[in-house]
Amino acid sequence: MHVVETANAIVDSDSISTNMYSYQAGVRLLEELQSTYRAIIQTPTIGSLIDDLEESPFEKLRMCTVKKFRNYLVFYSVNDQEILIERILDGRRDFLDQFAAE
């Protein structure tokens, strides 16, 4: 199984890492993001299912925090062949609004 990042996820990670308080923090975030991806590959069900959303178009979407950067959430789905990273968002914001803006 392998990870595929959507265009939105790539933009999210680039934006978050470049807007960190320092270059080193941005690099560490990207490293921890890769570590989180490896954990998801090892255990695809590690993330919580987003099942508390009524009539959600994301019924199979999971989320988990980025290791050592707990304010950031990785939203992903799993199928037989790949793990699709949909978004990486700041958990301190309303992520539903960020999905709706797409």
Within 1-102, where are the H helices?
7-18, 23-42, 95-100
Domain that holds residue 62: 2-100
DSSP 46: G
pTM above threshold 0.85: yes
Is residue 17 within 8 A of residue 29, CB to CB? The reply is yes
pLDDT in tens, 19-74: 999 999 999 999 999 999 999 999 999 998 886 555 555 668 899 999 899 999 99
Write down the pLDDT at residue 10.
95
Range in 9-23, 59-73, 84-98 with the lowest mean pLDDT: 84-98
Residue located via tokens 């939105």: 8
In terms of phi and psi (left: phi > 0; alpha: psi -120 to 50; beta: otherwise), the region of 87 is beta
Write down the pLDDT at residue 60.
82
Dist. CA 64–CA 10, nearest whole Å: 17
Number of domains in the chain: 1
Q: How confident is the model at residue 94 (pLDDT cuts 50, 70, 90)?
A: confident
pLDDT of residue 3 exceeding 70: yes
Following CA atoms 101, 58, 83, 4 in sequence, which dihedral angle do they give, to the nearest 10 degrees? -20
